[in-house]
Structure 1
Amino acid sequence: MTFIDESIFRIEPIVKHGWFLKGSKPSCPVNWSRGKECVFGALNFENGGKLISKQAKKINSKTFIEFTQLLMRDIGSFILVMDNAPWHTSRKAAGFLEEVRDCVEPLHLPPYSPELNPVEPHWKAVRSNLANRLFENTSELKKSLKKALDGVQLDINKQRYLTS
């Protein structure tokens, strides 16, 4: 069973915590850029539960299909558990999933239930690794994001996700 999810990481700083002098007025520098990086993530419990990720410029049906093809090369046959995002349910994606039905069996989570997807805690950990930093440009964000994605290791309770 392979769980899939997507997330967008913006160049804007993620302010999580900080120490400030009492009575001071904290400020956060920004660079006013609208840069972002989109990430596809998949978690397969049979492959040790390591997050498989791919950065992309956009999230759409085309990039979803490309990521699914990458998973097919890495994993082989699997059940693809996903939410009901428009790029998962589009005609293009549905047609692709029908074509590869012999090795990818799609399974949709109930609407508005991110707590059922074990990829979600990974996004939280990655955001925490990127917190309190100002990125000068998108290439700096991409490098830091790749490092954070490679370094995230969570001990996900398989039983909880497979029996809920």
Structure 2
Amino acid sequence: MTFMDEAIFLLEPILKHGWFLKGSKPSCPVNWSRGKECVFGALSFGNGGKLISKQAKKINSENFIEYVQCLLDKNGSQVLFVDNAPWHTSYKTSGFLEEVRDCIEPMYLPPYSPELNPVEPGWKVVRSKLANRLFENTSELRESLGKALDEVQLNINEQRYLTGQIS
């Protein structure tokens, strides 16, 4: 059983709370570039909470299919839980999933219910690791994002999750 999701990380800084001297006026430099990095992420309960991720330039059907193929090579047959994003339900993706239906059983989460996807807390952890930093270019963002993704460890109790006691 594998849950999958995608996230976009922009070059602009992610601002979090900080401590500053009383009376000081903190400033935050901004890189006005529109650079971004997209990430596909999956969580299998049998994987010890490790997020299996892959960075990409775009989130589309082609990159989704490529990522699912990587998951298939790594984990073998599985039930794949995804949301109803256009690249999960496109004609191209449907054709691919039909070809590999012996190995992958797609299950679609209800619309507008990100709280049901256990990958979502992983994005929050990654964003906090990238917070309050200014990246000069997408290469620097990509490198820091890769390090943050490698460190993500989600401690989700499978039994509680599957019985609806999500915490």
Query: With structure 2 as the length reference, what TM-score do the two structures score?
Result: 0.95
Aligned partner of 1:98 in structure 2 is 98
TM-superposed CA distance for 1:33, in Å, is: 0.7
Aligned residues, how many? 164
Deviations 1:111-151 (A, max 9, x none): 01101100000000000000000001100000000000001
Counterparts of 1:9-158 in structure 2, within 5 Å, are 9-158=9-158
The 8 Å contact of residues 51 and 154 in structure 2, kept in 1 or not, is answered as no
| RMSD across aligned positions (CA) | 1.0
Q: Distance in 1 between matches of 2:159 and 2:12?
A: 36
Matched AA of 2:144 = S
Matched AA of 2:143 = K
SS in 2 for 1:15: coil
Q: Distance in 2 between matches of 1:137 and 1:115?
A: 32
Percent identical residues: 78
Q: Distance in 2 between matches of 1:46 and 1:81?
A: 15
Deviations 1:91-113 (A, max 9, x none): 11111111100000000000011
Unaligned runs of 5+ in 2: none
SS in 2 for 1:161: helix
Q: Distance in 2 between matches of 1:162 and 1:80?
A: 15
Q: Distance in 2 between matches of 1:57 and 1:130?
A: 18
Aligned partner of 2:161 in structure 1 is 161
Report which stretch shifted further, 45-54 or 141-150: 45-54
Unaligned runs of 5+ in 1: none
TM-superposed CA distance for 1:47, in Å, is: 2.5
Matched AA of 2:12 = E
TM-superposed CA distance for 1:159, in Å, is: 1.7
Matched AA of 1:25 = K
